[in-house]
Amino acid sequence: MRVWLNGKLVDRSQAKLTVFDHGTLYGDGVFEGIRAYGGKVFQCPAHIERLFASAKYIRLAIPYTKQELTQAVGDTLEANGVTDGYVRLVVTRGEGTLGLSPFKCTSPSVFIIADQIALYPDEMYEDGMAVIIAKTIRTSARMLRPSVKSLNYLNNILAKIEAVDAGVAEAIMLNEQGNVAECTGDNIFIAAGGKLVTPPLTADILGGITRRVVIELARRLGIETIERDIRPADIYAADECFLTGTAAEVIAVTKVGDRLIGDGAVGPITRKLLDSFRAFIRSGEDL
């Protein structure tokens, strides 16, 4: 494997950061997870824009232009012979002291990994997945703006541990108000009465890029999508439920805790949107 590190492609064994990097010491940095399909980077401009927006919010100056990072993503995929796979693009604060101050860090570190990813097994896309509602709540916007995709994922990891302990693959996280926010790594939708409902950005969610694509695909299919607060009871009463994310794509939720969603099978709207999403990927279209 070849890793792009601070402007150079190096062997995996040489892709190293100092232990004094604030990304290691404090989770001080930002990242993007990006997919490639058929040699084309999926929604690359949107991912790069979000990376720069996240970095700006935490006052982290990325030492490369958007164009340079776009090229670096392509170079990393090519160097590893990856045409269909996953890219992790990371910017850390760089080497600093043991103190918290980010202004004592010398220069940001940037690295890009291109590899394969299979977040969920194929059978889950056919049969749906079971999830739980986590006791760990989503980090509030009063603490950290949810639009910032930072390296500090401990909040999500604690909820993921709850899912693993429960023997399921994912956990739904609620916000401070007790409304549904998102899962540990994916956005969430429900279908009821032929309409889609998904939590709004104000529900302490990350504005997912796949989420945005699915909302547009639903519009094209004539499926009305409403962004509003969702309570756990709304999920239990829904006809369908599904998750969206860069790695997950579109995957049905058929059980929450001990309750089946709808008839416990992947519903027609979810299947239609998954098929539409896969067709959109093959088309190579950008939104």
Active site residues: 149
Confidence of residue 100 (pLDDT cuts 50, 70, 90): very high
What's this model's pTM, rounded to 2 decimal places? Answer: 0.94
Quick one: pLDDT at residue 2?
A: 98
Res 241 pLDDT > 80: yes
Residue 25 belongs to a domain with what CATH number? 3.30.470.10
Token readout for 159 is: 């909820």
Residues 84, 129: one domain? no
Residues 154, 272: one domain? yes
Quick one: pLDDT at residue 282?
A: 86
Residues 75, 126: one domain? no
Residues 138, 243: one domain? yes
Quick one: pLDDT at residue 284?
A: 78
Rounded to an integer, what distance in angstroms lies between the CA atom of residue 250 and that of residue 118?
13
The residue out of 115, 137, 160 marking a domain boundary is 115
How many folded domains does the chain comprise?
Answer: 2
Q: Which residue segment(s) compose the domain that 43 sits in?
A: 2-115
Proportion of the chain above pLDDT 90, given as a percent:
96
Cβ density class 190-226: b for 16+ within 10 Å, e for less: bbbeeebbbbeeebbbbebbbbebbbebbeeeebebe
Rounded to an integer, what distance in angstroms lies between the CA atom of residue 173 and that of residue 181?
6
The residue out of 84, 115, 146 marking a domain boundary is 115
Instruction: Write out pLDDT tens, residues 120-131.
Output: 999 999 999 999
The mean pLDDT value for 199-224 works out to: 97
Res 275 pLDDT > 90: yes
